């Protein structure tokens, strides 16, 4: 396994979102490592993407999206949930990939403890769930993902079928196909209706 370098992230958001599928997210904690395979992502741009926080220009909240790639953009919303994004594209170009769901690998017991659910498939099958399970919060906003604490690794296993679908949970900009997930995974938050 190899940690993804900055140049992986420094590409078009849509490409990065698609290629992040099957990669391994790692969070190092004193209690042990938490790891999970990325099975669902969504791409968010800046200009021309009404659903993106960056569409209305740069603000203190979303400034990370405008910065260099390979950093964490953690955003708090709905009064109780954190969402974990990976900043993509070049420095100065707004873009981020929302990690929507993971397949838990290491540290499952810790995640059960954090989440208080009984079934494995409910641990991380949603963007706010995985941040809770992985102990990610606003203090990780702007963290370097090529560093030591939180990072993403390449995995040898091949990704099977990748499905593209409209994004979820937003009120505008639904028409574009910017969500990607692994077809066979049990951990995808919501699958598209049959085409």
Of 27, 129, 140, 179, the residue at the interface with DNA (CB under 7 A) is 129
Among candidates 144, 136, 33, 126, which has minimal Cα distance to 86? Answer: 144
Look up residue 49 and give its two tokens. 């993407």
Residue pointed to by tokens 């059960």: 112
End-to-end alpha-carbon separation of the chain, Å? 35
Say if residues 56 and 155 touch (Cβ distance below 8 Å).
no
Name which of 153, 159, 87, 99 is nearest 126 in CA terms.
99
Q: How far is the CB of 1 from DNA (least distance, A)?
A: 26
Residue 185 in the binding site for DNA (CB under 7 A): no
Counting contacts by CB under 7 A, is residue 80 touching DNA?
yes
If one asks whether residue 81 binds DNA (CB under 7 A), the answer comes out as yes
Residues 1-60 that bind DNA (CB under 7 A): 42, 44, 51-54, 56-57, 59-60
**56 or 183: whose CB is closer to DNA?**
56
Nearer to DNA, 29 or 170 (CB): 170
Nearest residue to 97 (alpha-carbon basis) of 149, 155, 20:
20
Q: Does residue 191 interact with DNA by CB under 7 A?
A: no
- d(Cα 43, Cα 40) in Å, to the nearest integer? 10
Residue numbers at the binding site for DNA (CB under 7 A): 42, 44, 51-54, 56-57, 59-62, 65, 73, 75-81, 83, 85, 96, 98, 115, 117, 122, 126-129, 168-172, 189
């Amino acid at each position: 396994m190899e940690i993804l370098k900055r140049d992986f992230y420094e590409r078009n958001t849509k490409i990065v979102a698609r290629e992040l599928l099957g990669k391994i997210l790692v969070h190092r904690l004193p209690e042990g490592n938490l790891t999970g395979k990325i099975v669902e992502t969504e791409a968010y741009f800046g200009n021309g993407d009404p659903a993106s926080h960056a569409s209305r220009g740069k603000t203190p909240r979303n400034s990370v999206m405008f910065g260099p790639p390979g950093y964490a953009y953690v955003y708090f919303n709905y009064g109780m949930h954190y969402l974990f994004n990976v900043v993509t594209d070049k420095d100065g170009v707004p873009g981020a990939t929302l990690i929507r769901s993971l397949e838990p690998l290491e540290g499952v017991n810790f995640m059960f403890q954090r989440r208080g659910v009984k079934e494995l498939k409910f641990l991380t099958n949603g963007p706010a769930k995985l941040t809770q399970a992985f102990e990610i919060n606003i203090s990780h906003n702007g963290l370097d993902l090529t560093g030591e604490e939180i990072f993403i690794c390449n995995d040898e296993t091949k990704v099977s079928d990748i499905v593209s679908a409209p994004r979820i949970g937003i009120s505008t900009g639904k028409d574009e196909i910017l969500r990607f997930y692994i077809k066979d995974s049990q951990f995808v938050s919501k699958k598209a209706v049959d085409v």
